[in-house]
Amino acid sequence: MNYKLLIAVPLIVLALSTTYLLWKMSTEGLSLDIDLKGGTQIIVESDTPLNEQSIEEVLDEYDVNVRIASGLTGHSAFIEFDAEIDSNDVLETLEGAGYEFEDYSVQTVGPSLGAASMNQAIIVLIIAFAFMATTILFIFKIPIVSLYVTLCPAFDIIGTLAISQLLGIKLSLAGFAALLMIIGYSVDDDVMITTRVLKGEGSIDEKVRGSYKTSFTTTAATLVALAALYAMSLSSVITQIASILLIGLILDLQNTWLFATPLLRWHVERKSK
């Protein structure tokens, strides 16, 4: 199979992801957590399993959104509602329905503060990406190669955001932190592969195969660790970071080996001729 044809796969995924994000933003908007849109969140913890539908039925008058997380140490319910609603009323309603919790916490964010946090997070992401692109260009000093390396994390971020929204994972400040980490993971892999292909010894096939083994070994180890973290954690922050990183790293394997590497190989072969 001609390796150049593999480039079509990431491009199709990118087109679908971009189309979905544009459609979602033009209709209902991105799904945002309370730290980016404002609202109140009550986190309750219990030793016994919690039922999402039952809690939503009890709190039907408050139009709440409930998420359940279960780990090795217990169970947690994340109850979100508008900032105008008194959290004490919600807790009293739960207690009146017979719910007893060992511990709980309440977080309230105003809409204006949430919008400001959203704008700042976007600016930080853009600045981080710009610094990354500048550093890559400084390292390799070959504009076309630097472009291949820079496009890979861009594809990762767009695809990760689209898939996470499709799966119902709300974007939060923790999610933006995970997207910044994806940039680092992606560039680390791409720099390693590009350096070996451009400066390593042996045929291009040997250099690509050696990079392939290193890339998949390190990524597989990270995926296993993130999967364990996702399964065991009761923290919404850690769960969001782990889930977004899992999606991003899987996409990065696709974009690195079906997009950036074929283009890099094509560049080296044309240059040698």
Alpha-helical segments (H) within the chain: 8-26, 34-37, 52-58, 87-96, 111-140, 143-166, 173-199, 204-232, 236-255, 261-272
DSSP secondary structure letter of residue 197 = H
Residue 10 token pair: 């990431």
Instruction: Give the domain 39-109 fold.
Output: Alpha-Beta Plaits (3.30.70)
Residue 72 token pair: 């090795």
**Angle value at C-alpha 221, between 249 and 74, nearest 5 degrees:** 90
Q: What is the pLDDT of residues 83-104, one digit of tens each?
A: 788 888 888 888 887 777 767 7
Q: Region of 11 please: left (phi>0), alpha (psi -120 to 50) or beta.
A: alpha
Which residue's structure tokens are 């544009």? 22
User: Residue 56 to residues 67, 80, 106, 239, 267: CA-CA distances in angstroms?
Assistant: 10, 10, 17, 21, 56
Residue 103 token pair: 């511990």
Q: Is 119 exposed, middle or buried (0-12, 13-18, 19+ CB in 10 A)?
A: exposed
Q: Give SS3 for 201.
A: coil
Residue 244 has what pLDDT?
Answer: 94
Residue 207 token pair: 């250099």
Q: Region of 63 please: left (phi>0), alpha (psi -120 to 50) or beta.
A: left
Neighbours of 266 (CB within 10 A): 14
What is the full per-residue pLDDT of the chain (273 aa) written as tens digits? 577 788 999 999 999 999 999 999 999 888 888 888 888 888 888 777 778 888 888 888 888 888 887 766 677 888 888 878 888 888 888 888 777 776 778 888 887 888 888 899 899 999 999 999 999 999 888 888 889 889 999 999 999 999 999 998 888 888 999 999 999 888 888 888 888 888 877 788 888 888 888 888 988 999 999 988 888 776 777 888 999 999 999 999 999 999 988 888 888 888 776
**Residue ranges of the domains in the chain?**
3-32+112-272, 39-109
Q: Look up the CATH number of domain 3-32+112-272.
A: 1.20.1640.10
Same fold, 3-32+112-272 and 39-109: no
* Angle, helix 173-199 to helix 111-140, in steps of 10 degrees: 10
Q: Is 223 exposed, middle or buried (0-12, 13-18, 19+ CB in 10 A)?
A: middle
